[in-house]
């Protein structure tokens, strides 16, 4: 089975994904890191030198390729992956794939993102927590229609990583 973790940036997809993969003895793939290693460039550099359209095409191609695998994989997507092309459709219509939305409140996302905004090109320019809250709320509103299509939803606010992993496993099996 391939377990696909979906959610907004800083929702815990990579952190939970690694822990879940360890617990289940599955492989772990972070799609952004997978693309970076194939391109030998960071996502930021790909956007800068080749453009977002190129990146989104690579994202879709690599996603489709990984979803065809017969391996046991936990796959962490970038926050925008389900929202472009027909990526979400591929996820939902591929056999042996389960999609999980790691759902965070806006305030919890803002709290995490504001601390690490310099590491995220999409939000590095945002000066205040109020502006960050406005940005995240608007962006999440645009994306949540895709995230909500996931087969399983896990509310993560106030839960330990261990508790989230346990909840995912309970809902999967």
Residue numbers belonging to the annotated binding site for substrate? 32, 56, 79, 143
Rounded Cα distance between 1 and 95, Å, is: 9
Of 86, 80, 30, 72, nearest to 55 by C-alpha is 80
Rounded Cα distance between 34 and 141, Å, is: 27
Binding residues: 10-15, 32, 56, 79, 120, 143
Binding residues for ATP: 10-15, 120
Rounded Cα distance between 161 and 154, Å, is: 12
Q: What are phi and psi of 167, to 5 degrees?
A: -65, -40
Asked whether 73 and 26 are in contact (CB, 8 A), the reply is: yes
Please report how many Cα atoms fall inside a 13 Å half-sphere around the Cα of residue 114, on the Cβ side: 16
Asked whether 153 and 101 are in contact (CB, 8 A), the reply is: yes
Binding residues for Mg(2+): 14
């Amino acid at each position: 089975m391939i377990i696909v973790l979906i959610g907004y940036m800083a929702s815990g997809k990579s952190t939970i994904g690694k822990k879940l993969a360890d617990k289940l003895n599955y492989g772990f793939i972070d799609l952004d890191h997978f693309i970076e290693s194939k391109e030998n460039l960071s996502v930021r550099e790909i956007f800068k030198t080749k453009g977002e359209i190129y990146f989104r095409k690579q994202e879709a191609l690599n996603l489709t390729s990984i979803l065809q695998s017969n391996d046991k994989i936990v796959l962490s997507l970038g926050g925008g992956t389900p929202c472009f092309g027909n990526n979400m459709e591929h996820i939902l219509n591929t056999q042996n794939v389960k999609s999980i939305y790691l759902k965070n409140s806006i305030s919890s996302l803002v709290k995490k993102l504001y601390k690490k905004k310099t590491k995220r090109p999409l939000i590095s320019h945002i000066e205040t927590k109020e502006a960050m809250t406005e940005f995240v709320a608007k962006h999440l509103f645009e994306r949540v229609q895709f995230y909500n299509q996931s087969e399983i939803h896990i509310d993560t606010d106030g839960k330990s990583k261990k508790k989230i992993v346990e909840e995912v496993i309970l809902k999967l099996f």
